[in-house]
Structure 1
Amino acid sequence: MICGITKISLDIYTKPEYFYSGFFIMKHIDYIIVGDGYAALFFAHQLIKNNKSFVLFSEGRKSASQVSAGIINPVVLKKFTTFWKAQEQIDFLKETLTEIESYTGQNYLIDAPIHRIFHDENEQNLWLKKSQNEELSGFLDEKFDHLEVVKNDFNTGKVNQSARLQVSGFFNDLFDFLEKNECLIKEKFDYEKLDTSAASYKDFQYKNIVFCEGMGVKENPFFSDIAVVPNKGHHIKVKLSEAIPKDITIKKKHFLFPTDNGLHFYGGTYDREQLHHHVDESAVTQLVNGLSEIYPHDFEIEEVNFGFRPTVKDRRPIIGRHGSLKNLYVFNGLGARGILNGCYFSKSLYQFIEENIPLHEEVSGDRFK
Structure 2
Amino acid sequence: MRNVDYIIVGDGYAGLFFAHQLIKNNKSFVMYSEGKKSASQVSAGIINPVVLKKFTTFWKAQEQIDFLKETLDEIKLYTDKDFLINAPIHRIFHDENEQQLWLKKSGNTELSGFLDKNFIHIDVVKNDFLTGKVNQSARLDVNGFFMGLLSYFEKNDHLIKEKFDYRQLDPSGSTYKDIHFKNVIFCEGMGVKDNPYFSHIEVNPNKGHHIKVKLSEPIPENRTIKKKHFLFPTGNGLYFYGGTYDRDQLHHHIDQSAVDQLINGLSEFYPYDFEIAEVHFGFRPTVKDRRPIIGRHNAFGNLYVFNGLGARGILNGCYFSRDLYRFIEEEIPLHTEVSLNRFSNKP
TM-score by length of 2: 0.99
Please say if 1:367 is aligned against 2:342.
yes
Please say if 1:36 is aligned against 2:38.
no
- Offset at residue 232 of structure 1 (A): 0.1
Q: CA–CA distance in 2 between the matches of 1:327 and 1:260?
A: 43
SS state of the match for residue 173, structure 1? helix
Supply the AA of the counterpart residue of 2:252. H
Other-structure match for 1:124: 99
Other-structure match for 2:195: 220
- Offset at residue 262 of structure 1 (A): 1.6
Other-structure match for 2:58: 83
Q: CA–CA distance in 2 between the matches of 1:63 and 1:277?
A: 13
Please say if 1:73 is aligned against 2:48.
yes
- Aligned to 2:295, which of 320, 323, 326? 320
Paired residues for 1:253-264 under 5 Å: 253-264=228-239
Supply the AA of the counterpart residue of 2:84. L
- Aligned to 1:46, which of 2, 16, 21? 21
Other-structure match for 2:90: 115
Other-structure match for 1:93: 68
- Offset at residue 197 of structure 1 (A): 1.5
Please give the per-residue CA displacement for 1:244-270, whole angstroms capped at 9, x wherever unaligned: 000000000000000022200000000
Q: CA–CA distance in 2 between the matches of 1:280 and 1:57?
A: 30
Q: CA–CA distance in 2 between the matches of 1:368 and 1:79?
A: 29
SS state of the match for residue 142, structure 1? coil
TM-score by length of 1: 0.93
SS state of the match for residue 292, structure 1? helix
Q: CA–CA distance in 1 between the matches of 2:304 and 2:71?
A: 22
Other-structure match for 2:161: 186
Please give the per-residue CA displacement for 1:162-199, whole angstroms capped at 9, x wherever unaligned: 00000000000101000000100000000001011211
Other-structure match for 1:331: 306
Please say if 1:58 is aligned against 2:33.
yes
SS state of the match for residue 119, structure 2? strand
Please say if 1:140 is aligned against 2:123.
no
Listed as ranges, the gaps of 5+ residues in structure 1 are 1-25
Alignment RMSD (CA, Å): 0.4
Q: CA–CA distance in 2 between the matches of 1:104 and 1:320?
A: 29
SS state of the match for residue 197, structure 1? coil
Q: CA–CA distance in 2 between the matches of 1:107 and 1:98?
A: 7
Paired residues for 1:141-220 under 5 Å: 141-220=116-195
SS state of the match for residue 102, structure 1? helix
Other-structure match for 1:348: 323
- Aligned to 2:271, which of 290, 296, 305? 296
Q: CA–CA distance in 2 between the matches of 1:190 and 1:106?
A: 33
Q: CA–CA distance in 2 between the matches of 1:333 and 1:96?
A: 21
Other-structure match for 1:358: 333
Please give the per-residue CA displacement for 1:86-126, whole angstroms capped at 9, x wherever unaligned: 00000000000000000000010000000000010110000
Please give the per-residue CA displacement for 1:110-146, whole angstroms capped at 9, x wherever unaligned: 0000000001011000000000000000000000010
Q: CA–CA distance in 1 between the matches of 2:52 and 2:142?
A: 22
Q: CA–CA distance in 2 between the matches of 1:314 and 1:107?
A: 33
Supply the AA of the counterpart residue of 1:315. R
Supply the AA of the counterpart residue of 2:241. Y
SS state of the match for residue 55, structure 1? strand
The number of residue pairs the alignment matches comes to: 344
- Offset at residue 158 of structure 1 (A): 0.2
Q: CA–CA distance in 2 between the matches of 1:134 and 1:103?
A: 37
Q: CA–CA distance in 2 between the matches of 1:262 and 1:211?
A: 37
Please say if 1:106 is aligned against 2:106.
no
Q: CA–CA distance in 2 between the matches of 1:284 and 1:368?
A: 36
Please give the per-residue CA displacement for 1:183-221, whole angstroms capped at 9, x wherever unaligned: 000000000010112110000000000000000000000
Q: CA–CA distance in 2 between the matches of 1:195 and 1:75?
A: 43
Listed as ranges, the gaps of 5+ residues in structure 2 are none
Q: CA–CA distance in 2 between the matches of 1:145 and 1:59?
A: 45
